[in-house]
């Protein structure tokens, strides 16, 4: 499992820094980093499997001053999973919600319903 302390140290945002050291690390935000939700809450919360925990993690991100930069960084890195910038990621892409365990429900089209009648 990936620790949330890498959040700012790996955050690459074009235009924020210049030159060969164009990476924003926690040293640039030493005071702010200590107060970010991902640094004060349980890191496992941001990689939870249940929808209630995921919703809570997203709500913590909503008040974070780094939410836009975090999301941009996660998109640029293709984060494989977890809540980043207020969005849930799976296989490098933001998704609306985790799929529940088991087979998906069969949703019948209008044509199938008419044929069954």
Q: Which domain holds residue 61?
A: 6-116
Higher pLDDT, 114 or 20: 114
Residue 11 has pLDDT above 60, yes or no: no
Counting runs of H as helices and runs of E as strands, what totals does the chain give? 6, 3
Q: Is residue 84 part of a domain?
A: yes
> Tell me, what's the pLDDT at 99?
76
54 phi, psi to nearest 5 deg: -65, -45
Supply the pTM of this predicted model: 0.62
* Overall domain count for the chain: 1
Q: Is residue 1 part of a domain?
A: no
Higher pLDDT, 3 or 44: 44
pLDDT in tens, 15-52: 445 555 554 444 555 566 668 898 889 999 999 999 99
Q: Is residue 68 part of a domain?
A: yes
Share of the chain above pLDDT 90, in %: 38
């Amino acid at each position: 499992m990936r620790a949330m302390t890498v959040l700012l140290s790996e955050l690459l945002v074009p235009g924020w820094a210049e030159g060969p050291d164009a990476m924003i690390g926690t040293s640039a935000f030493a005071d702010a980093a200590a107060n970010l939700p991902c640094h004060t809450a349980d890191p496992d919360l941001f990689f939870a499997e249940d929808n209630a925990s995921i919703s809570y993690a997203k709500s913590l991100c909503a008040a974070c001053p780094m939410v836009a930069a975090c999301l941009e960084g996660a998109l640029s890195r293709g984060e494989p999973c977890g809540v980043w910038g207020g969005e849930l990621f799976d296989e490098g892409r933001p998704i609306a919600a985790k799929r529940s365990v088991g087979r998906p429900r069969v949703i019948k089209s209008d044509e199938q319903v008419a044929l069954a009648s």
